[in-house]
Structure 1
Amino acid sequence: MPTTPNSPIIKMIATDLDGTLLRDDKTISPENIAAIQQAVSQGIIVVIASARPPRGVRSYYETLNLDTIQINYNGAAHYDMIRQQFTKHLPLNPQFTRAIVDLAREVDPDVCVSLEVQDKWYTDRVDENLLVETAKQFGPDLVAHLDEIFHEPVTKLMLLAPPDRLKPIHTQVRETFGNQIAIHQSDDHLIQIVDPAVDKEHAVREVAEYYNIARENVMCIGDAQNDEGMIRWAGLGIAVENAWPDTKAIADQIVPSNQNHGVAHAIQKYALQHQAPPCI
């Protein structure tokens, strides 16, 4: 057995994508695929918990042959890929979001602004040097003046700039809007702003409740600040070796990096129930 007699049985695994399940080239290693498929074959629920929208997760769900609810936008939405519908949505008011953007543009007029609106991308301009991973695969659904893009509830606001320019924007937005928003960061050139009730911790807890799985039977794996809530909440919180220092500090266990199949290592060591060979 990979666990001690007092260790909880893992019944659900929630894993981050970028920097965790995915290698740096944005592919899933054969080792990680095999481990996840073995976990599923043993009845373990496997859930992807990502900052990405559904369209940016779809190919990975298909590769892994998953049919579970996925967590998108850091938990601002839950999406049923099989039925192709949102099962939860916690958006920001469009007028309030515009106020955040106006402040950011006062600090830095050239900051890039992207809105995610239920799996659609709205922006007033695109900077090819500041694209998030999903934007490299899927173009914007609307490119228009700011006055034209703030007409629907905003699932997630993204502000993008080189790290040295983004820091004062981050500081000013946080100081001005405080607990009216939640700010998540997984890349040094990007801040993601969502409803203050949004967090991967809350999302994983709700999905676990949906599947009737207790906290102590949940393992969460991640690498960045936006993963810390779910890692801290889980019965077993895992950080990959390449994780941010603060993220590693709150994890129960550290596994090899995303380049070295850390997710597979975690599953093999802490989740799979290895059966003894039959007597002959």
Structure 2
Amino acid sequence: MSYKLVAIDLDDTLLNDDLEISPANREAIEMAVEQGVVVILSTGRMFCSAQRIAQSLHLNFPLLSYNGALIKNTLDGKVLYSNYLPFSLAKNILEFLEPQGYDLNCYVDDKLYVKEISPRIREYINVANVSAEAVGNLTSFLKTEPIKLLVLDEEKVLDRLAETLKRIYGEKITLAKSKPHYLDIVNKGVSKGIALKQICQSFGFTPQEVIAIGDSYNDLDMIRFAGLGVMMGNARDELKKLADYVAPSNLEDGVAHVLKKFVLE
């Protein structure tokens, strides 16, 4: 099979634990692009955060951000696809969550707003390499539809919260975990898989011509969509069982391994 598009998650997939791209991964991506392969970064991160990484790789392709809620051109920032949380729904969710004291991120127009800079949020800011504006009460602050809400807490707490949110909001929202302690809340119909399908249609590629590489729960539907779905060696065992192929870990140049094995001539 000749693969024409490769979609790659960032954190714990392309990036190592120091949040860097290894020379081997960088070289393999550059070689794939030179060969005519479309390389898409697919992440739960903000567009501005992922854009810097895409630019460092000299990628001039659509960039899939916010778990698929927003697709923009890397270079000019032109919006190709978006699916935001409806304002009234987002407001209602914040009214439910804020009194319970959760650490919350609210993303509006590719900017991050928080109640206050807590230790968890400070860690998030450092990892994502973004800034945040503390605005006090988010429910009062919100005046337009956000791209995404994010709850930061312990994994068991978030698992219980996810069940509660499903019970209250049902199919109005989509929940995704990009890390064990991050719970993303996006609009219904938002996922990396759906966004990747949009990108493939725009290029005229079939799923069979696509490789998707990830490590976490929010990568699952993207990996199921692709002709070759790859989980990293550092992914949880329950996720690796669902992949077509398991790559070496993000500390072992797993992305470069996949590109060399399946893409590079």
- Quote the residue 1:96 is aligned against: 89
Q: How far apart are the structure 2 equivalents of 1:249 and 1:207?
A: 26
In 2, distance between residues paired with 1:128 and 1:266?
A: 36
Question: Structure 2 vs 1, CA of residues 171 and 155 (structure 1 numbering), >3 Å: closer, same or farther?
Answer: same
How far 1:105 moved relative to its partner?
Answer: 3.8
| Distance in 2 between residues matched to 1:119 and 1:55, nearest whole Å | 7
Q: Which moved more, 1:168-177 or 1:178-187?
A: 168-177
CA–CA distance in structure 1, aligned partners of residues 125 and 227 of structure 2: 30
User: Computing the radius of gyration over CA atoms, which structure comes out larger, 1 or 2?
Assistant: 1
Q: Aligned equivalents of 1:51 and 1:136: distance in 2?
A: 10
Deviations 1:230-273 (A, max 9, x none): 10110111111011223211110111000000000000001112
**2:164 alignment partner in structure 1:** 172
Q: Is the CA contact (8 Å cut-off) linking 1:75 and 1:198 kept in structure 2?
A: yes
Residue segments in structure 1 that go unaligned for 5+ positions in a row: 1-7, 274-280
Evaluate the alpha carbon distance shift between residue 207 and residue 134 of structure 1 in structure 2; reply closer, same or farther with a 3 A threshold. farther
Query: Residues 70-90 of structure 1, C-alpha deviation per residue, up to 9 Å, x if partnerless?
Result: 000000000112112322110
Q: Percent identity, aligned pairs only?
A: 29
After superposition, the Cα gap between the structure-2 partners of 1:133 and 1:50, relative to the gap in structure 1 and judged at 3 Å, is: farther
Task: Give the deviation of 1:229 after TM superposition.
Answer: 0.4
| Runs (4+) off by over 6 Å | none
Q: Distance in 2 between matches of 1:49 and 1:61?
A: 10
Distance 1:135 1:236 in 2: 29
Give the match for residue 135 of structure 2: 143
> Paired residues, what number?
264
DSSP-derived class of the 1:258 partner: coil
TM-score by length of 2: 0.94
Matched with 1:124 is 115
Residue 25 (structure 1) aligns with: 18
Kept in 1, the 8 Å contact 2:49–2:128? The answer is no
Contact kept, 8 Å, 1:225 with 1:246, in 2: the verdict is no
Name the SS of the counterpart of 2:241 in structure 1.
helix
Does the alignment pair 1:236 with 2:228?
yes
2:101 is matched with: 110
CA RMSD in angstroms, aligned pairs only: 1.6
8 A contact 2:94–2:138 mirrored in 1: no
Aligned to 1:3: none
**d(CA) in 2 for partners of 1:86 and 1:144?**
30
